Every structure is written in structure tokens, then in C-alpha cells.
A = this chain, B = another copy of it.
Amino acid sequence: MDAGGEADLCLLTRFTNRKDLVSSIKHGRLKLDNRDVRILSILQKEGRIPKAALAERVNLSATPCWERLKRLEEAGIIERYGAKVSMKAFGPLTQVFVQIELEAHHAENFARFERAMADIPEIVECWAVGGGIDYFLKVVVRDLEAYQDLVDQLLAAEIGVNRYYSYVVTMPVKEEPVPVELFAATD
């Protein structure tokens, strides 16, 4: 992909302060050009690349690239940087996807369940979903015995779980960042 063109991507507009920027994003009004998208794409996979090298890759000198990066960070488009730690580092671990059905569907039921999720470190992801199921969880545990213990705890905790369905991960097939190029183009 050519990093130079601005094509059918809208230009990033200037704002007087951070609050304007943030609210613009929330309302989907902030637009990124090709270079911004390429910067994001590179940083998704190489989060610690030196800024000079990043600039070179998008055909810019350090300063304008640095300014763009700063804007992306301050606008919250880059939420954070993080190291991806291999799960093999700690010996074999088990991942389980869990579907959860709640007993009742009042606001307080959802709130109670979601509060409980926050406190359990083994539950690394929790998503509210539609489609006959209330929540999807991703759980990381040492082994299936530990998983069963966790489930027992969940059921005993009286947080309104009616039914749960477990799907143990037998193999990771694919795990990629969101393809920013795909969603930035042609607004």
C-alpha cells in the first residue's frame, strides 16, 4: 500500500483541545489519512519500533510522523502499548470459551454479573452478546480441574447464572489485530 496518497480518505482536522478530539472520535467525525492508518497498522505489530524507523516506513521525516503519532495517542486512537506474553511461558495452560445464560434479565441482574466478572482474574474477556445467550467469556486456567473449581465458584456465588456451556480450546488457529486498513478506507 502506498503511504503517500490521500485518496478517498478524509484529512485529519485540527482541534483546539483534547476534549474536542476525543468527542470527535466518539462521534466518528475524526478522519485519518493513509499515513495515519499505516502508522497504526505498523504499531499494532511493532509497538516498540523506533520513531525514526516508523517515519521512514511511512515516507516521512521524524517530526511530522512524531506529531501524527502524538495526535493518535492523545485522541485515544492508540489506547495503550502492551507486550504480548506467550502462554507457554508458564507451562501448559488451558483456555475455555464459556457461554452464559442468566436467570433473569433485569438491569440489576446484568450489573451484578458484570461486577463479579471484574473480580475474577482468570476471566480475561467478557462480552455481552445477542443470539439467545447473554455473555461470552474467555477463561484462562491451569487445567480442567481448575476450570471446574472456577465454575463451581461462579455457580455458588449467586450472581444469577442459569446455564453455562463450555468450549475448551484445543488449538489456536488465528489471532490478529483488527485490520485497520480495511475499515479506514473509502468513507
Complex contacts, A163 vs chain B, CB 8 Å? none
Bound-state CA distance A77–B86 (Å) is 5
Do residues B176 and A117 form an inter-chain contact, with CB atoms below 8 A?
A: no
Q: Which residue of B125, B169, B178 contacts A128 across the interface (Cβ within 8 Å)? A: B169
Judge whether A67 is part of the interface by a CB distance below 8 angstroms: no
Do residues B82 and A44 form an inter-chain contact, with CB atoms below 8 A?
A: yes
Complex copy number for this chain? 2
Bound-state CA distance A174–B89 (Å) is 23
**Segment touching B, from A56-64, A101-109, A133-141, A153-161:** A133-141
Bound-state CA distance A167–B99 (Å) is 10
Do residues A83 and B44 form an inter-chain contact, with CB atoms below 8 A?
A: yes
Do residues A28 and B92 form an inter-chain contact, with CB atoms below 8 A?
A: yes
Complex contacts, A173 vs chain B, CB 8 Å? 114, 117, 126-128, 135
Least CB distance from A57 to B in Å reads: 14
Known contacts A81-B83, A174-B123: A97-B47 contact under CB 8 Å: no
Given contact pairs A47-B82, A97-B129, A130-B170, enumerate 17 new A-B contacts (beta carbons under 8 Å). Answer: A28-B92, A32-B89, A43-B82, A44-B82, A45-B80, A47-B47, A79-B83, A79-B86, A80-B84, A85-B177, A114-B174, A125-B174, A125-B176, A128-B172, A130-B167, A131-B165, A140-B183
